[in-house]
Structure 1
Amino acid sequence: MRLIFLGPPGAGKGTQAKRLVEKYNIPQLSTGDMLRAAVAAGTPVGLKAKAVMEAGQLVSDDIVVGIIVDRIEEPDARNGFILDGFPRTVAQAEALDAALAAKGQKVDLALELVVDHDKLVDRIINRAAEAQARGEEVRKDDDPEVFKTRLAAYARDTAVVAPYYKERGLLVQIDGQQPIDKVSADIEKALSPLLTNV
């Protein structure tokens, strides 16, 4: 089960991915974490990424896809994986498809959590206020101004990825504003056709 999680920041992708990781015993792959791990491990692709990052540049799609391809070779990803935060552009989606096809694999489903952007900003403001009330430090990502910038970047760049998967019949949109358990139930319903083929 090779899944892609799409949706704006704060939509609940992390919460839902965690539930799927526990239920299906497949890893959730964050490109940021994989990049750091590859650099730390000194893999060939990690060394390339390190050189680019040290030069203060963005890591190219080829390098990121290379890191993903290396990572999905590991035993824990044999039954599938959840990609969260990638692909961010159509070029990345195409590169991922090509890399998977070379291994005789493909993306099985792209799940998009759809949430009203104004409600998302309210959700983040509440989350920040609750953290402060508990005496906790507010996550940098939960600063409303930082969050609005991330949301605008998502709308500009990543929102174009959903139509790419829709054209291929792989996109399932789920109302991310429902209670968490209802979102999980809708995700399970979307996954059920895949499970009958396992």
Structure 2
Amino acid sequence: MRIVLLGAPGTGKGTQGKFIVEKYKIPSISTGDILRENIYLKNEIGNKIKKKIQKGQLVSNKIVCNVIKQRIEKNDCINGFMLDGFPRTIDQAHFLSKLNIKIDYVIEFIVPYELILERISGRRIHVPSGRVYHIKFNPPQIEEKDDVTGDLLSLRKDDNLEILKKRLEEHKKNKNLLDQYYKNEKKIGNIKYFKINGTDSVLNIKNKIQFILQ
């Protein structure tokens, strides 16, 4: 089973992605995770990525496509995988198609941009563990502190409101082209393409995805 999750930042792809990979025993390939890993390693690619993200710009297609290709070629992807955050542009969608890898499902999460701004600007993370909180929707037991360690929580630099607005503008530019591309792919029978209301409850969305993938 090969699945693509589409949607702007903060639409719930990460939350539902965890359910998908656990239930169907396939690896999650998150563009964001791979890019952040390179930033953490402070290698040449990581430094280029960091500068782009801090300006609210998209990382170049060449860099993103190469790291995704390398990840898909690993042995744990033989029986399937889930792509989270890729493709984000029509060029990336064409690149994926040229790899001759059959994508079975494309699931797109739809959330109004105003709500996305509220969701993401309130996110807090515990960097060492990856635990994620939200000051309104999922607050820590003690304000601004991790529940397990008591460490201070952080705001990701790319969750800054000004940078986030730029990211959403970039998403808006690419969304229509991707929508049309996958509608055409669905029409000719290459994929199954679904749109999901990301403002619904986590449980309802989970049940809808389970119904889609059964």
Shorter-chain TM-score: which interval? 0.7 to 0.9
Aligned to 2:25: 25
Task: Please state how far the C-alpha of 1:137 moved relative to its aligned partner.
Answer: 3.0
TM-score (norm 1): 0.75
Query: Unaligned regions of 5+ residues in structure 1, if any?
Result: 42-46, 193-198
Query: Unaligned regions of 5+ residues in structure 2, if any?
Result: 53-57, 124-133, 145-152
Separation (CA, whole Å) in 1 of partners of 2:112 and 2:36: 32
When residues 137 and 162 of structure 1 are mapped into structure 2, their CA distance, relative to the original with a 3 A threshold, is same
Aligned residues: CA RMSD: 3.2
TM-score (norm 2): 0.70
Read off the aligned partner of 1:134 and give its amino acid letter: E
Query: Pairwise mapping of residues 1-198 of structure 1 onto structure 2 (< 5 A)?
Result: 1-34=1-34, 50=45, 53=48, 61-62=61-62, 64-99=64-99, 101=100, 105-127=101-123, 129-130=135-136, 134-135=143-144, 136-169=153-186, 170=191, 171-192=193-214
Q: Are 2:7 and 2:109, in contact at CA under 8 Å, matched by a contact in 1?
A: yes
Task: Please state how far the C-alpha of 1:40 moved relative to its aligned partner.
Answer: 10
Q: For residues 163-196 of structure 1, what are the alpha-carbon distances to aligned partners after superposition, in whole Å with 9 as ceiling and x for unaligned?
A: 211111132101110000111111111212xxxx
Q: Are 1:38 and 1:67, in contact at CA under 8 Å, matched by a contact in 2?
A: no
Read off the aligned partner of 1:89 and give its amino acid letter: T
Read off the aligned partner of 1:140 and give its amino acid letter: K
Q: Are 1:5 and 1:83, in contact at CA under 8 Å, matched by a contact in 2?
A: yes
When residues 141 and 53 of structure 1 are mapped into structure 2, their CA distance, relative to the original with a 3 A threshold, is closer
Separation (CA, whole Å) in 2 of partners of 1:39 and 1:137: 16
Read off the aligned partner of 1:114 and give its amino acid letter: I
**Which structure shows the higher helix fraction?**
1
- 3-state SS, counterpart of residue 155 of structure 1: helix
- 3-state SS, counterpart of residue 157 of structure 1: helix
Q: Are 2:11 and 2:198, in contact at CA under 8 Å, matched by a contact in 1?
A: yes
Task: Please state how far the C-alpha of 1:117 moved relative to its aligned partner.
Answer: 1.5
- % identical aligned pairs: 38
Read off the aligned partner of 1:176 and give its amino acid letter: G
